[in-house]
Homo-oligomer: A and B are copies of this chain.
Amino acid sequence: MNRTRGSIPPRCCNLAIGEKDETRFIRMMKAAGNPLRFQILKFLVTHPGCITGEIVDHLPIAQATVSQHLKVLREAGWIKGEVDGPAVCYELSTENTTWFRTLVERVF
């Protein structure tokens, strides 16, 4: 091959992604890129509508830690929680997971 340094190969394609979309995308990746948070996502895929306590029972970590991870997933847009009396029912955000899937397909 032996290309000379300084001659960056020309763009093979255009990857139009806005700054906001990019930030949002990276945040979702980062949030999902943690083993325990991924367990939570998996659990919610198969058990939509579960409350925090049920997720806590399903995982080997303390309630406070689960709550923290749920917050990260919420803020990243992966999940949404609906208050139900003293409890909170969680489920994946269809809208955002779809958006994520679409962006993965567009970028890679």
Contacts and interface: CB of A to CB of B under 8 A. Distances in A.
Contacts of A51: 3, 5
Q: In the complex this chain forms, how many copies of it are found? A: 2
A85 interface: yes
A49 interface: yes
B108 A54 contact: no
Interface in A35-86: 35, 38, 41-42, 45-51, 53-54, 58, 82, 84-85
A87 to B, nearest CB: 7
A45 B103 CA distance: 14
A9 B42 contact: no
B5 A50 contact: no
